[in-house]
Structure 1
Amino acid sequence: MARVRERWTRSGVRLREAAVRPGRWNWLFVPGGPGLGSESLADLVRAVDVPGRSWLVDLPGDGSNRALPGVPPDPYRRWPHVLAEAAEKLDHVVLAGHSTGAMFILSVPALAERAAGLALISGAPHSGWRDAFAAYAAGHPLPAVEAAAAQYDRTPDDRTLRALTLAAAPWNFGAGALPAGRELLQGLPYCHAAVAWADAGFDAGYRARWVPSTIPALIVSGEHDHVVDQRLWDAEPGFARPPVTRHVIPGAGHWPWLDDPAAVRTAFAELTDRLA
């Protein structure tokens, strides 16, 4: 088996080469969560089949990027701004973020100077998604989530975070993708310390700090994303005009490439055409 190529930035951001295809682009895939490793995007990388090199990105202290030689003892000190270091290491960078990963990207203005293109999947322009999700969850309660949340509150660790995330799977995936979604979530690394950092210092105050005005950009939304309300983009003029295009995937949830990988691949193919 070929050894996976890995690189670290000076602050411990890990880049793992996930695919190599003809083309000059370096695609940086940033996972959501936080607390979920970039392994969560491996199926996305396979689905979109973009030209160039695809890298799975883990911030220091996230997912399985912990207790490794490149990770500093205070990994969250410069979150999410350390993402700029990953973009600095490569040329012809295209950023692709899922959920919170998309929000991290939009929180780092320095990335606007390094990116040749941008893809935002199931992200949001500001923290208003939190109230919308709370309202949806209250109207669609899951007893398993209530029990898992109580256990996580009592004992917040990686094990109880996994149990809570699995219990909430029906909110994340369409019915057809739910079995595959549960299997995916079961196999991921989890990091409750990253969740605690986001709860304390990022989620509530988040708002996009830059808008892609000169580079090709793509917003991919699931029609039935119950976690991050995709209607929030509609009220943001900067994300509703060229060079931003939007693809809403019919019937898809918060992980649209599991519901309809072909549709997500088509959206990325159009972005790739615009990059060229």
Structure 2
Amino acid sequence: MTVDEFRTASGVRLRPVAERPGDLNWLLLPGGPGIGSESLQGLADAVGVAGVTWLVDLPGDGSNVVGGDPFAGWPGVLVEAAEALPRVVFVGHSTGGMYLLSVPELEPLLAGLVLVSSAPHAGWMTSFVEMTQEYPLPAVEAAGAVYEADPTDEHLRLVTMAAAPWNFTPAGVAAGTELLARMPCNAAAVDWSARNFDSTYASRWWPAQLPTLIVSGVRDRVVAQSLWDEPRFRGDHVLHRWIEDAAHFPWVERPDGVRAAFHELAAVVSG
């Protein structure tokens, strides 16, 4: 890469993982929270968009361990990442997208916005709880009890891996479990988000004209993608692409479909 990784003043970490001709900077922010941006390496590989693709971690999330109080500026410090580079398309997966929609100061700084398996408000949690009751996973319950008693990073990893059948289609569970097993997990980030964000989240802005892509796995059981059906989330500047036979990490099962969607947006932004 022509540029090395760097951190912003508040400790947001940006690492370049792909570079192709083009002037766009694609900033990939992971979901979770607590699961590092390494979870999005496969997404970066799948989409192959023009420009530089970066993996982004908030201070204190994933493997981006910093001193002091890393969560003091969450999620507003994402502005620093958007200001650090020209022609930024911010991509948020799941909770990462929710963080982006909680920072209205981002809108004038971006060339585009991508929301993958994300939601406009915390209403998704009700559907998620109902799903877990309808499709219980005893392994998650057991791992969750251990984590509650001793919330270490390793115990969080075990919960995350046990929940793979909720996050992937049956065809994608093996690859998905292997993906989750490799991820750095951060219990402190999970705790902060649970106490300060998850249940009270509601988007604070929606793009007025900014080219925007919503990517939804048809079989996503974690975050209800039907929440995007409201008329206020439509417009000529919004592309909503449903990915068949894909779940919460749609690039795992259908990299081709996700790639096509990203390239649609890239054509709009570059044009």
Same-fold status (TM-score > 0.5): yes
1:90-169 aligned within 5 A? 90-169=85-164
Q: Would the aligned equivalents of 1:170 and 1:178 in 2 still touch at CA under 8 Å?
A: yes
- The corresponding residue for 2:252 is 258
- The corresponding residue for 1:207 is 202
CA drift at 1:213 = 1.6
Counterpart pick for 1:86 among 60, 81, 87: 81
| Aligned-residue identity in percent | 53
Q: 2: distance between equivalents of 1:178 and 1:144?
A: 14
Runs of 4+ in 1 over 4 A off after TM superposition: none
Q: 2: distance between equivalents of 1:152 and 1:189?
A: 16
Residue-by-residue CA offset, 1:178-204 (whole Å, 9 max, x unaligned): 111011000010000000001000001
Counterpart pick for 1:233 among 207, 228, 234: 228
CA drift at 1:11 = 0.2
Paired residue secondary structure (1:103): helix
CA drift at 1:3 = 9.8
Paired residue secondary structure (2:183): coil
Paired residue secondary structure (1:12): coil
- The corresponding residue for 2:59 is 60
- 1:194 partnered with 2:207: no
Q: 1: distance between equivalents of 2:42 and 2:207?
A: 26
Aligned residue identity for 2:53: S
- 1:274 partnered with 2:261: no
Q: Which runs of 5+ in 1 are unaligned?
A: none
Paired residue secondary structure (2:92): strand
- The corresponding residue for 2:33 is 34
Q: 2: distance between equivalents of 1:24 and 1:207?
A: 32
Q: Would the aligned equivalents of 1:7 and 1:15 in 2 still touch at CA under 8 Å?
A: yes
Aligned residue identity for 2:119: A
CA drift at 1:72 = 4.0
Q: 1: distance between equivalents of 2:262 and 2:221?
A: 23
Paired residue secondary structure (1:127): coil
- The corresponding residue for 2:173 is 178
Q: 1: distance between equivalents of 2:263 and 2:3?
A: 26
CA drift at 1:141 = 0.4
CA drift at 1:238 = 2.5
* Count of residue correspondences: 270
Residue-by-residue CA offset, 1:236-256 (whole Å, 9 max, x unaligned): x22122211100011110000
Aligned residue identity for 1:106: L
Q: Would the aligned equivalents of 1:216 and 1:274 in 2 still touch at CA under 8 Å?
A: yes
Q: Normalised by the size of structure 1, how large is the TM-score?
A: 0.96
Residue-by-residue CA offset, 1:35-62 (whole Å, 9 max, x unaligned): 0000000000010001100110000000
Aligned residue identity for 1:38: S
Q: 2: distance between equivalents of 1:241 and 1:126?
A: 19
